[in-house]
Chain A
């Protein structure tokens, strides 16, 4: 079956521009996560959705970062006024449920963002 997909696979932009990164979770998965992986580092949590609402956005680094999931499926991570320090691989994951029971997070291949 189809896994988590992310588009685009690569995005090159200029400092100060706005970008949108898209995540298509596994069909039926209610929980969706965004992580950021900088070069040589492990992934860092950004935000977690349960359905349409952001259940935990404690990892968003500042107000330039915003994410939505309006219909509880596809999610878009939006970055305004990009900075060179935003360059990283942005990973999306989905799982079948949230709450207090752990459900495996399935990761997409990521979007590599380069800010020139």
Chain B
């Protein structure tokens, strides 16, 4: 069975600092991996996805993530945090043969001025 672990339910960084949100997955087959963002009172929005092409994936709003098979990781980074990045971030995994997404428990990102 697939699973996702997000290390740290809360992450706080200063504006302009590096953002690093950690995600490790478990899957019996080469997975598809995703990062979603959820702003207050809004639906989930896809930030980026890995579907077996380039291992370094660039997404919207300056975010990127690197698929590391040897570490079973898909950490999300952004070089310089902006106040508007404050939100809940979810990592998710999918079996390429299935359609359902398996989500981690989420990481709440706070940006300090």
Query: A: which residues have CB within 8 A of B?
Result: 3-4, 31, 33, 35, 40-45, 48, 50, 55-56, 58-59, 91, 93, 95, 98, 100, 102, 104-110
Contacts and interface: CB of A to CB of B under 8 A. Distances in A.
B67 interface: no
B82 interface: no
Contact of A43 (B45, B46, B103): B103
B100 A42 contact: no
A102 B51 CA distance: 8
Interface of B: 4, 9, 32, 36, 41-46, 49, 51, 90, 92, 94, 96-106
Contact of A42 (B46, B49, B106): B106
B97 A44 contact: no
Given A56-B100, A102-B96, A107-B36, 18 more contacts: A33-B99, A33-B100, A41-B106, A42-B4, A42-B103, A43-B101, A43-B103, A45-B100, A45-B102, A48-B100, A50-B99, A91-B43, A95-B99, A104-B46, A105-B46, A108-B43, A109-B41, A110-B43
Contacts of A105: 46, 101
Contacts of A41: 105-106
A31 B98 CA distance: 12
7 contacts: A31-B99, A35-B103, A42-B92, A95-B99, A102-B32, A105-B46, A107-B45
Contacts of A91: 43-44
Nearest to B104: A42
The 9 tightest CB contacts between A and B, nearest first, are A42-B103, A107-B43, A107-B44, A45-B100, A109-B43, A43-B103, A42-B105, A42-B106, A48-B99
A33 to B, nearest CB: 7
A56 B101 CA distance: 12
Query: Which of A33, A48, A95, A107 has the most C-beta atoms of chain B within 10 angstroms of its own C-beta?
Result: A107
Nearest to A44: B103
A58 B106 CA distance: 22
A55 B98 CA distance: 10
A56 B99 contact: yes
